Amino acid sequence: MIEVEALSRQYGSRLAVNEVSFRVEPGEIVGFLGPNGAGKTTTLRMLTGYLAPTSGDIRIDGIDAVTDSIRARERLGYMPEGVPLYREMRVFEYLRHRGALKRVPNLTEAVDRALELAGVEDVRTRIVGQLSKGYRQRVGLAEALIADPPILILDEPTSGLDPNQVRQFRELVRSFGGEKTVLLSTHILSEVEAVCDRVIIIREGEKVADLRPGDGEISLEEVFAELTTSGVTEDAS
């Protein structure tokens, strides 16, 4: 379970995330949606302890993620945006390293299981830097799954995947439904409709919607367009 209360983050004088509050129930799959620069990555980085919030509270399975960060991080599997990996390592070496860092018991079994779940068994002895982007993305997913965490936080997990891989990824995430709590950020609306129980939309650092896809008459695309463009002048950058 993820509980976020009045979370804010400032970079210098710029307010990147402003008083965002939401909950993700155990076993729920929630999409975190917003235009580029809305504060999605900043929010996820605060949840995972990479950034400290300027104010607000975060609870991961009831553990205060700000004051008891390491214990909260033990509950999380995180796939950062762009999936940074040690390029010089072999896939299984990388997973063993990350598993050891997360104090996973039975490392060999855990690595095999993560490789299988993410569908990257065929590249287990390949060097990470020589893999295609789609494979690297899935190695990142295997890494997030290595400790079998109850909560997964995935930042744009399908960017760089081909349509078949996207489909496999969605099936995998759906298979976690009810077992793992998943929060995934994306700007692909069809992805949210395909896998998420619920969607949280943020714009310019503020939460503007918390809804279930399929609720009401209008499509998610229309909701998104309305919520994220109305009253906003075209961003020159």
Partner 1 sequence: MKGAWVVSKRELGSFFVSPLAYVVLTSWLVWNGVVFWVLTQFYARNAVSSGAATPLSGFFGGSALFFIPLLVFVPVLTMRLIAGEKQSGTIEALLTAPVSEASVIFGKYGASLVIWCVLWLPTLIYAWIMSQHGSVDWGATASSYLGIFCLGAYFMAVGLLMSVLAPTQIIAAVLAFVVLGVLFAVGIGEFVLDGTAREVCAYLSMWGHMQSFAKGVVDTRYLVFDFSVAALAVGLSIGALKARRHG
Rounded CA separation 22/149 (Å): 21
Residue 150 in the binding site for partner 1 (CB under 8 A): no
Q: What is the dihedral of CA 5, 46, 80, 192, to 10 degrees?
A: 20
Q: Which of residues 88-117 bind partner 1 (CB under 8 A)?
A: 88-89, 93, 97-98, 100-103
Rounded CA separation 55/42 (Å): 13
Q: Is the Cβ–Cβ distance between 123 and 91 less than 8 Å?
A: yes
For 4, the enclosing helix (H) or strand (E) is strand 2-11
Nearer to partner 1, 98 or 187 (CB): 98
| Among 62, 84, 214, 231, interactor with partner 1 by CB under 8 A | 84
Q: Which residue has the tokens 């609870």?
A: 59
Q: Which of residues 155-214 bind partner 1 (CB under 8 A)?
A: none
Residue 48 in the binding site for partner 1 (CB under 8 A): yes
Residue 52 in the binding site for partner 1 (CB under 8 A): yes
**What is the closest distance, in whole angstroms, from the C-beta atom of residue 28 to partner 1 in the complex?**
21
Residue 45 in the binding site for partner 1 (CB under 8 A): yes
Applying CB under 8 A, the span of 41-49, 112-120, 199-207, 227-235 interacting with partner 1 comes to 41-49
| Among 87, 133, 167, 212, interactor with partner 1 by CB under 8 A | 87
Residue 143 in the binding site for partner 1 (CB under 8 A): yes
**What is the closest distance, in whole angstroms, from the C-beta atom of residue 71 to partner 1 in the complex?**
8
Phi and psi at 235, nearest 5°, equal: -75, 120
Rounded CA separation 93/95 (Å): 5
Residue 126 in the binding site for partner 1 (CB under 8 A): no
Q: Return the sign of the alpha-carbon dihedral for residues 172, 198, 38, 232.
A: positive
Rounded CA separation 36/193 (Å): 19
Residue 232 in the binding site for partner 1 (CB under 8 A): no
**What is the closest distance, in whole angstroms, from the C-beta atom of residue 208 to partner 1 in the complex?**
27
Rounded CA separation 229/190 (Å): 19
Max Cα-Cα span within the chain: 54
Applying CB under 8 A, the span of 14-22, 76-84, 171-179, 217-225 interacting with partner 1 comes to 76-84
Size of interface with partner 1, in residues (CB under 8 A): 28
Q: What is the dihedral of CA 152, 83, 147, 56, to 10 degrees?
A: -40
What residue ranges bind partner 1 (CB under 8 A)? 45, 48-52, 70-71, 73-74, 76, 78, 80, 82, 84-89, 93, 97-98, 100-103, 143
